[in-house]
Structure 1
Amino acid sequence: MSERRRALVRLEIARAAVDLFTVKGVAATTGDDIARAVGVSTRTLWRYFPGKEACVRPLLTTGLDHIAALLRSCPDGVPLLDHLERAGLFDHDVPHAVEPVAHLIRMTRTEPGLMAVWLEVHHAAEGVFAEILATRTGAPPGDLAVRVQAAALNVALRLAAEEQARLVAEGDRPPAGGLGALMRTALTAAARGLPAFGGGAAGGPPGPGGPPAA
């Protein structure tokens, strides 16, 4: 099976899992239920995912993969926040904010298994962000200053998504622009004093051992 076909099957499984979790609840949904909904054997399902909660992972990674691609495309000398702004990331609700993903993120608040997957996805993304920032700054990916900036980017994105989910769940109106606007607010706050984001001026020059401004 081609990699593209495998990715499509994984996404189909993820959507079926979210639908079942929404209707039946996570505890009452089995791997057999998910496999049956997709039209594959349970044995095949476990070749794709180690557990039923992990089946939702492809939906949770879509937005982070998109942002990582935007960061990689940032030209040298252009602050990352400026590049994301020009790319239109903050102008509208981004694809991974729409249902069923927004509902899935809301479910992570009450389902420990789904929360574990959500945090694992962001943990993996943090390493990707560190590699991107290291390339821009010339520091190794394991450099503490690079890892701190990657963590700040990661947490800002996660909190923006969770804030969107909270507002919708509580019946509050999200800000104009939806998740895009929330990400702008969160990343701007995180960028203060972090040179790779273009925030070095606000926070002063990086300390000893820190990477140069990007």
Structure 2
Amino acid sequence: MVDRGPAPRRGRPPVSDEQRRRQRLAISRHAVRLFSEQGLAATSGEQIARASGVSERTLWRHFPHKESCVEPLLTKTIDAFRTVLHAWPPDVDLAEHLRSAYQPVLNSPSATDVEAVLAVIRLTHDEPALRAAYLVLRERAEDTLAEVLSARTGVPSDALPVRVEAAAMNAALKVATDDLIHETAESGITPDALLRHREHLADAISFVTRRAPGDGRD
């Protein structure tokens, strides 16, 4: 008998984590555009799926409900802040590091994702369901910041000083983002607006974390 080897795999090849991440982000961008253009209530899952070029089944496999479609874009702001904290040199003041290295949205070569993120946050002011999703992500961000500070300092992430520092940083990021939303409501994103946002965030961080854990100051 001839050994024919294993039977060929049938069906679609498995989706990698990176492919899944990219598809979720693409869906998120289309969902945010539709929410901004026609409102949350008037936007259906079918419309989001059609705009994204996927089936409704695929849409609901990625997201439990349409409001959660905003999460991948909003998460990019948290990832951006976490990434810049990870890269914070031990001998550099955090505010100065933010002025030189911070970008409001991670891995976005254009202002498109920044505009989309700000559009989502604007919508949270009038859409309770989106506001709930935003608040959940902000709470997760606080936990993430505590983990970053813990890794930097060696102090447990659930220690009171680290938790307070993480909460202060999270609040500073929110205030600076709210200022950017207000400034760009009519004029849109400009290089000067992003520069001022970076300065506002650095100033806010400097104000609330004059002695960040592990910053090396006496």
Query: If the TM-score is normalised by the length of the shorter chain, which range does it land in?
Result: 0.7 to 0.9
Matching residue of 1:184: 199
Matched length: 198
1:99 match: secondary structure: helix
Aligned mates of 1:22, 1:212 — CA distance in 2: 42
1:54 paired residue among 55, 60, 68: 68
Matching residue of 2:88: 74
Q: How far off is 1:143 after superposition?
A: 0.7
1:35 pairs with 2:49: yes
Q: Call closer, same or farther: CA 1:39–1:176 in 2, change over 3 Å.
A: closer
Matching residue of 1:203: none
Q: Call closer, same or farther: CA 1:60–1:26 in 2, change over 3 Å.
A: same
Q: How far off is 1:213 after superposition?
A: 4.1
Matching residue of 1:149: 165
Alignment of 1:77-156 (within 5 A): 77-87=91-101, 89=103, 95=111, 98-156=114-172
**Is the Cα contact below 8 Å between 1:153 and 1:190 reproduced in 2?**
yes
**Is the Cα contact below 8 Å between 1:96 and 1:102 reproduced in 2?**
no
Aligned mates of 2:53, 2:208 — CA distance in 1: 51
TM-score (normalizing by structure 1): 0.80
Question: Residue type of the partner of 1:133?
Answer: L
Aligned mates of 1:167, 1:192 — CA distance in 2: 21
CA RMSD of aligned residues (A): 2.7
Q: Call closer, same or farther: CA 1:9–1:157 in 2, change over 3 Å.
A: same
Question: Residue type of the partner of 1:37?
Answer: A
Question: Residue type of the partner of 1:119?
Answer: L
Larger Rg: 2
Question: Residue type of the partner of 1:160?
Answer: A
- Aligned-residue sequence identity (percent) comes to 41
Q: How far off is 1:113 after superposition?
A: 1.3
Deviations 1:146-198 (A, max 9, x none): 111111111111121122222333x479998324423432442343363xxxx
Q: Call closer, same or farther: CA 1:67–1:34 in 2, change over 3 Å.
A: same
TM-score (normalizing by structure 2): 0.79
Aligned mates of 2:188, 2:29 — CA distance in 1: 26
Deviations 1:36-71 (A, max 9, x none): 222222222111111101101111111221221111
Aligned mates of 1:174, 1:47 — CA distance in 2: 33
Unpaired runs of 5+ residues, structure 1, are: 201-205
**Is the Cα contact below 8 Å between 2:98 and 2:202 reproduced in 1?**
no
**Is the Cα contact below 8 Å between 2:95 and 2:205 reproduced in 1?**
no
Deviates more, 1:110-119 or 1:94-103: 94-103
